[in-house]
Each structure stands twice: as C-alpha cells, then as structure tokens.
Amino acid sequence: MGMRIRRDDQVAIVSGKDRGKTGRVLRVDPKKERVYVEGLNIIKRHQKPSPTASAGSEAATGGVIEKEGPIHVSNVMLVDPKDNRPTRVGVTREGGVRSRVTKRSSTKLD
C-alpha cells in the first residue's frame, strides 16, 4: 500500500519530541516510510568546510548545520482543511480515479 501523505500536505505530529506541532511536508521517502516536515525534528550536522563547493553554499562555510530530520509516517496525521484538526486519510474510487478523502469531514484532498 502506498503512503497517503504527500508533499505539501499540512500534517500534525502525534508522537515524539515535536508532538502537537504542525507543519508542511517538504519531501516523502516511501521506501523508508518517512516524511520530512518543515521546521520540525531539527537535527544538527557538523560539517567541514569544502574547498570544492561554491562560495555561498553551506558546504563552503562548514560549521554546525541544522536541517529537518525524517519522521516515520505513523507519527504524523494529515490536518483536516475544514477544522484544522488531525484526521485519518481514506481513499475512494470514482470512475476508476482514486482520490484521498479525510475521515473526519469527508473532504476531498485531490
């Protein structure tokens, strides 16, 4: 079964250190069942300055770089566009076309 969370979806974190926060999905890794949410699950990476990188990039300067870490898809829930509360996602078929719907208010997402 494919993942029901997609890029640019608004999601709420339901468990972990950022529980209760919401954000926009930046990217999805279906093979590992992980999502990257904007501004959440921030991890720090210590990076050496790279002599081959262009002058303005982060790799050229080095230091401690903060970026979003992966979150397992079971730890996020889609935010219902009608009432801004977390909801489960279902799939309906109409005329051979699949579309995602929210379980809370039956709002179509696609």
Is pLDDT at 1 greater than 60 in this prediction? no
Q: Give residue 57's pLDDT.
A: 66
Is pLDDT at 110 greater than 70 in this prediction? yes
Q: What is the pLDDT of residues 32-73, one digit of tens each?
A: 999 999 999 999 999 888 777 666 666 667 788 899 999 999
- In this structure, the dihedral spanned by the alpha carbons of residues 45, 15, 86 and 27, taken in order and rounded to 10 degrees, is 30
pTM for the whole structure? 0.84
SS (H, E, C) 38-78: CCCCEEEEEECCCCCCCCCCHHHHCEEEEEECEEEHHHEEE
Q: What is the pLDDT of residues 33-44, one digit of tens each?
A: 999 999 999 999
Domains present along the chain, CATH in parentheses: 10-80 (2.30.30.30)
